[in-house]
Amino acid sequence: MNLNEFQDDITTGIPATLPAKKAYETAINHAPKRKEILSPEEKILALKNALRYFPKDQHAELAQEFSDELEKHGRIYMYRFRPDYKMYARPINDYPGKSLQAKAIMLMIQNNLDYAVAQHPHELITYGGNGAVFQNWIQYRLTMKYLSEMEDDQTLVMYSGHPLGLFPSHKDAPRVVVTNGMMIPNYSKPDDWEKFNALGVTQYGQMTAGSYMYIGPQGIVHGTTITVLNGFRKIKKDPRGSLFVTSGLGGMSGAQPKAGTIAGCVTVCAEVNPKITRIRHEQGWVNEVFGNLDELVKRVREAQSGQEAVSIAYLGNVVDVWEKFDKENLHIDLGSDQTSLHNPWAGGYYPVGIDFETANKLMASDPEEFRSKVQQTLVRHADAINAHTAKGTYFFDYGNAFLLEASRAGADVMAANGIDFKYPSYVQDIMGPMCFDYGFGPFRWVCTSGKPEDLEKTDAIACAVLEEMKQRSPEEIQQQMADNIQWIKGAQENKLVVGSQARILYADAEGRMKIAAAFNEAISKGIIGPVVLGRDHHDVSGTDSPYRETSNIYDGSRFTADMAIQNVIGDSFRGATWVSIHNGGGVGWGEVINGGFGMLLDGSSDADRRLKSMLHWDVNNGIARRNWARNEGAIFAIKRAMEAEPKLKVTIPELVDEELLKGIK
């Protein structure tokens, strides 16, 4: 398909005549069949909801087709309407339209659905097993059409994948406002997602999937590298020759082996899905693949002895790895898990002793039996971890709800007080006190020209900014600055790009604003093309998640969601190009509220004004909240922020003498 045909397809939106049905491509990594949850009456409602996108003369043909999809897959994806063009992030000027900001959003949407990026591209699922960009292909088509028509005084409103429409606004308003899964609290249990998603009225946007800001496993590889490095620092162990064991290669978790290699250790990452294991190996995110445990043990011992920085995928269940290494007395230094346990009953975690395909069939045919086997596996998983930690392994929860679901399964993961988990979240021990409290988080950018040389130039610009800042940074953040400079210097050689020409770099508010301003200046001079800014929701202030991002909040407020809501409201009137707020993501539906943004830098004075206003708020909102929770690093950081910006005035907590309270009855 040539450029004109591509642009015509975008501007057409919903085809006037029905395209031919498409064959189901078995070579593609597909979402598992969803559980049978709708009543006969609700199935009729789901069909009515799907058919409302089409004229009545097409209903008769589509009704049976959509009914078949619902029966076979548990969802109506509208496969027939999948575009014929290749799905990837094109250069920004290839997109039709009147608004450069709207074109940037189209680019980011297509990047999310790129076959090299998306986990289940034909089901419009980017990562995490259920992190969707849209519910069906007509929503995609209609959204792209609206964006092609958008002007800079309009805003597109997105209701859980459905484009409600274009509304008049103004040039400083967001071009798109996204909500995903915003349920009434009493209807936010896992089965509620299954039901209302099957009805076609809500979706699980994960974090950056439904925010159009996913950049492949690179999206968390910097944070994962920081976590692994600081995990070894915490146990005072050199990564060289040390062993890190974890699981999960799909989506975000695919960053783990690459991060382990960058950190310099031996990494073993188990994955049950053969297709995603092959993809990660082909992409270079994992060095070697083994399917035999004896051979795996032999290779790990060899790598440890040679102090190799190597990543090894085990094609199979991670429980078998933990148990085998225990039996062989193979010492694990760091251990974790990054399977999608926010989604334990629909493909996020697989039972041990059952092959992948059989498990997928059981998931749909007998969901209660599947659930039982998953919980039995979680108990075994925890028991094997406990055996290793008794020998000195440092295990941390990676914020994927592993400990939460293991506790619900009755596993031995609770502390002696019966309230806390016996193992910390990585945010509690590492990312919270070392990064988030000081304002450091996963700043992202995408070079919309699609040129690798633009990405290389932005890397150099960012590095120069950080090196200048480090010279006058206080002692409290010198380590963070040094780690980030080392990261960006090695970004090119580590070949992190999957899909768009994107980068991630942990930076604080000052760093983000200065890097963004330097990018905008370079764009204005014609040195580079326009740049999209964003971040992971897994950040200082975008997410309220009591078992992950805000797990190091100890004043009792970690179960509140004011911060995430305030964050997205504040971003929307301070200049973000698009904003999003989601229920679910990372740790599960009903367990978290998280928000994100995107911002286009086009070299203009307007972009310079917006970036300074919005990025300052986007970070300092979270630092202020963490300060109020009495987090020591955040108190330091917000005081420093107030010294730099006289108009920032934040309430500082008074600290209470613990000895005084001991005598209170």
| 3 state DSSP class of 290 | strand
Annotated ligand binding at 206? The verdict is yes
- Residue 177: CB partners within 8 Å, gap ≥ 6? 155, 156, 157, 158, 572, 578, 579, 580
Q: What CA–CA distance (Å, rounded) separates 66 from 18?
A: 14
Residue 300 in tokens? 């790990």
Q: What CA–CA distance (Å, rounded) separates 497 from 459?
A: 13
Annotated ligand binding at 129? The verdict is yes
Annotated ligand binding at 128? The verdict is yes
Residue environment code for 386-396, b if the CB has 16+ CB neighbours within 10 A, otherwise e: bebeeeebbbb
Q: How many helices (H) and strands (E) does the chain have?
A: 23, 17
Annotated ligand binding at 398? The verdict is yes
Q: What CA–CA distance (Å, rounded) separates 484 from 487?
A: 5
Task: Please state, in angstroms and as integers, the Cα–Cα distance from residue 424 to each residue in 391, 404, 430, 588, 632, following that order.
Answer: 17, 12, 9, 18, 19
The residues facing 425 across adjacent strands are 397
Residue 463 in tokens? 């590095």
Residue 446's identity, in one-letter code, is V
Q: What CA–CA distance (Å, rounded) separates 16 from 346?
A: 35
Residue 435 in tokens? 């990064």
Residue environment code for 407-423, b if the CB has 16+ CB neighbours within 10 A, otherwise e: bebebebeeeeeeebbb
Annotated ligand binding at 506? The verdict is no
Q: What CA–CA distance (Å, rounded) separates 202 from 134?
A: 10
Q: What CA–CA distance (Å, rounded) separates 335 from 282?
A: 25
Q: Looking up tokens 């914020």, which residue turns up?
A: 399
Q: What CA–CA distance (Å, rounded) separates 50 from 583?
A: 23
Alpha-helical runs (H) found in 447-561: 452-470, 478-489, 509-524
CB atoms within 10 A of CB 120: 22
- Closest to 254 (Cα-Cα) out of 279, 231, 230, 291: 279
8 A C-beta contact, residue 162 and residue 169? no
Binding residues: 128-129, 206, 271, 398, 586
Binding residues for NAD(+): 128-129, 206, 271, 398, 586
